[in-house]
Structure 1
Amino acid sequence: MKVAIVHDWLTTYAGSEKVLEQMLLLYPDADLFSTVDFLSEEDRKFLRGKKVHTSFIQKMPLAKKKYRQYLPLMPLAVEQFDLSSYDLILSSSHAVSKGVITGPNQMHISYVHSPIRYAWDLQHQYLKESGLEKGVKGAFAKWILSKMRMWDYRTSNGVDHFIANSQFIANRIWKVYRREAAVIYPPVNVEAFSFQEQKEDFYLTASRLVPYKKMDMIAEAFSRMPDKKLVIIGDGPDMHKVKAFASDNIQVLGYQSDEVLVSHMQRAKAFVFAAEEDFGITPVEAQACGTPVIAYGRGGSLETVRGLDKSNPTGVFFDEQTADAIVEGVRRFETEGEQILAANCRRNAIRFSPEAFKRTLQNHIDSKIHESSRKYTAPQVVSPDFINPRDKTAEQLVATKL
């Protein structure tokens, strides 16, 4: 088969790009399409020299730094990709790539990280954080997002089979598209986070310091527990909020290398995670180190962490995104955490390895291609000479009898 792989945009090497990397390993001869390609020389190594076919947005003014501002043009951009010569189209989509145009004899399988968040259920949060709730700019933004929703829903009909990166996202796909989706968890490089059974007396949290990650809330919770040490790794616009809670028991390290992050994950007594994520990679990385997780009990965490109510638990859940709930989660971990074994944490994390992802994805694609070939039957051809008796005139009926 001739295969095309379509990605939203290439600007960094993050979670969705790790999915793309594994797709390229499965189909090394596939052609790659993306609205823009502004990867640095370091980040683009995972492409292994593959050429990227980009859209007209690549050459738009200031696109390298402000490519997101061209979001209203991206539906048009992906529709301009000529994929008519391909048998199989794989799209890796959290925005627009699932909207490529395909024909009746092509199979389009879309791996969805999420339907466009800022156009659907997170619209109001996006407008608030962007300062676009009111005024002329706000009205224009709301109009654009309304158009994006209509386009996003309409183009869902062009996808033959959806794959979601978690059951949480499968539910979101059903909510906005009314389409079923298979669940294949994204790959996590668990081998880079080696197992260590011995732990030290500190808690760890690590993430970009942005509002929805709730890193300042975690810091606030530990400011109420001066006897418990917390280490925070990460940088971002909420750094000033996090640093406001820095004290003798809360250490803010800022951005750190992968080596430093892995070392802290291996030694921490537990990893604290307060975001509502579609999947959530860092809790899996922590478990790969043999480290339990204290997580907000919504979103992908419910699928990557085994709570105390399950056999072989790997973590503890708290029910609300509040400092009080985090405090209660930590206290519960300290009283009931002896049930959590480091070996079970590691064993749970292995389920999300790149090898498991590739094997599952390949089997799923093969099964859909096989199903398609079995279901195909030649269309019924109605002869132009055939006339339904109900449509015949009296003269025709007489002629037929004669």
Structure 2
Amino acid sequence: MKKIALIHEWLTTYAGSERVVEQMLLQYPESDLFAVANILSAEDQKFLRGKEPTTSFIQKLPFLKKFLRHYLPLMPMAVEQWDLSAYDVILSSNHAVAKGVICGPDQLHISYVHTPIRYAWEFQAQYLRESKLTWGVRSLLTRMILHYMRLWDNVSSTRVDAFVANSQFIANRIQKCYGRQAEVIYPPVDVDAFAPSYKKEDYYIAASRLVPYKRVDLIVEAFRLMPERKLLVVGDGPMYKTLKANCPANVELMGYLPHERMSQLMQGAKAFVFAAEEDFGITSVEAQACATPVIAYGRGGSLETVVEGVTGCFFEEQIPQSVADAVATFENHQDHFDLKATRQHAEGFRPERFREELANFVDSQWAQFVVNRRRRPQQTFSKTTPGSLNLPVDNASNLVNLAGVSAQ
């Protein structure tokens, strides 16, 4: 029986990547879990089902909850310190450093990639701009750190035997960053937690953490152009106060809501509006599980989770007018969207499907790995003539002869 180690970045919340880890633990309950740091409360750790993660030296650094992200430059070294020699299969859940663990030639490493480090690759300029680090000494230092992370990220990709991407969009990014092919296995979505409703009310909904790259501000500005249409925004985050200070009358910021209330609002909405370029987009699938169509930015994972003209529609530019035009198009063709087909489409992302596809991939990779391992040639030596560059010979005495010394 294979002995498996599960590697995760850090445990701070129960979000998309943690749901993947939860399903990995369900599939491989005897596996051991490793994480750079764990700051989850006892209540939030329920999804680990009693599994106690092995952490790194990062866990003992001061003010961990406040400064965890500031310790990022130390994390490559942290994941390299674990002794994983007792395991046959290493399964990493990676969006930053987890894939960088060190394995031996007789260990199979499969990395499930949520994304290559987004702020070190093509989102670097956006990250620096949003962090107000476009110039100055701090900017220079940050750029140096990101450069180092980018180099390490690329080098550490060679430690992975097989990549799995959470979407074709991320598979393309893996190819661009690492020059490697990746299998696509869509992440699990708990569609049963969202009951469908085929009776819709006269409002739209956006639900997201209020951080810049989610582009909720873009959706709010789009609805400013449509004062006759109502928008509910569910979520909290750093941008809440800014949005609240300049919010049009037809937009209501709901803040954080418990799951039951958010689910009810999602069920009643005419459509879910989504403006981010996401790696996959779990919330869009949750909306479709509620039989609620999606109006989304036509790039990234949304192109794989929304069926245009059936479960939703797209806008082409991240500008308010483009969102407003897409809403108008949706309303003009609202009767064309099949709400039952929308729910049925979401059913295809169930956790059971994820576990089955992951297990099949791991099993097939392990079987091939074992075959290849058996086929590895043993180091043998064949006869050669003195002075030849064809050094291998078939026994120890011939090695001595090569040196000009008789073995007799």
TM class by smaller structure? over 0.9
Look up the equivalent residue of 1:86 and give its one-letter code: Y
Q: What residue number does 2:54 align with? A: 53
Following TM superposition, by how much is the alpha carbon of 1:373 offset from its aligned partner in structure 2, in angstroms? 2.5
SS in 2 for 1:127: helix
- Which of 356, 362, 375 aligns to 2:372? It is 375
- Which deviates further from its counterpart, 115-124 or 374-383? 374-383
Q: C-alpha offsets along residues 142-172 of structure 1, whole Å, 9 cap, x if unaligned? A: 1111111111111100100000011111111
Within 1, Cα distance between the matches of 2:349 and 2:73? 34
Check whether the contact 1:16–1:113 (CA below 8 A) recurs between aligned residues: yes
Within a 5 Å distance, the mapping from 1:175-214 to structure 2 comes to: 175-214=176-215
Following TM superposition, by how much is the alpha carbon of 1:390 offset from its aligned partner in structure 2, in angstroms? 7.2
Within 1, Cα distance between the matches of 2:376 and 2:353? 37
Percent identity at matched positions? 56
- Which of 353, 359, 369 aligns to 1:356? It is 353
Within 1, Cα distance between the matches of 2:273 and 2:15? 21
CA gap of 1:291–1:388, structure 2 versus 1, over 3 A, is farther
Within 2, Cα distance between the matches of 1:181 and 1:57? 30
Q: C-alpha offsets along residues 69-118 of structure 1, whole Å, 9 cap, x if unaligned? A: 11110000000010011000000010001000000000000000011111
Within a 5 Å distance, the mapping from 1:241-390 to structure 2 comes to: 241-308=242-309, 313-376=310-373, 377-383=375-381, 386-388=383-385
Question: Structure 2: which 5+ runs fail to align?
Answer: 390-400, 403-408
SS in 1 for 2:257: coil
SS in 2 for 1:261: helix
Q: C-alpha offsets along residues 108-152 of structure 1, whole Å, 9 cap, x if unaligned? A: 000000111111111111112222222222111111111111111
SS in 2 for 1:391: coil
Within 1, Cα distance between the matches of 2:213 and 2:384? 66
Q: What residue number does 1:153 align with? A: 154
CA gap of 1:246–1:141, structure 2 versus 1, over 3 A, is closer
Look up the equivalent residue of 1:335 and give its one-letter code: N
Following TM superposition, by how much is the alpha carbon of 1:242 offset from its aligned partner in structure 2, in angstroms? 2.4
SS in 1 for 2:329: helix
Q: How many aligned residue pairs are there?
A: 389
Q: What residue number does 1:400 align with? A: none
- Which deviates further from its counterpart, 18-27 or 208-217? 208-217
Within a 5 Å distance, the mapping from 1:13-162 to structure 2 comes to: 13-162=14-163
Q: What residue number does 1:169 align with? A: 170
Within 2, Cα distance between the matches of 1:270 and 1:94? 30
- Which deviates further from its counterpart, 98-107 or 58-67? 58-67
SS in 2 for 1:36: strand
SS in 2 for 1:352: coil
Within 2, Cα distance between the matches of 1:379 and 1:247? 71
Within 2, Cα distance between the matches of 1:289 and 1:302? 19
Check whether the contact 1:98–1:159 (CA below 8 A) recurs between aligned residues: yes
Check whether the contact 1:188–1:281 (CA below 8 A) recurs between aligned residues: yes
Within 2, Cα distance between the matches of 1:388 and 1:89? 45
Q: C-alpha offsets along residues 180-223 of structure 1, whole Å, 9 cap, x if unaligned? A: 00011111110000111111111111111111111121111112
Within 2, Cα distance between the matches of 1:34 and 1:180? 26
CA RMSD in angstroms, aligned pairs only: 1.6
Within 2, Cα distance between the matches of 1:388 and 1:173? 47
Check whether the contact 1:216–1:241 (CA below 8 A) recurs between aligned residues: no
Look up the equivalent residue of 1:10 and give its one-letter code: L
Look up the equivalent residue of 1:379 and give its one-letter code: P
Following TM superposition, by how much is the alpha carbon of 1:388 offset from its aligned partner in structure 2, in angstroms? 4.6
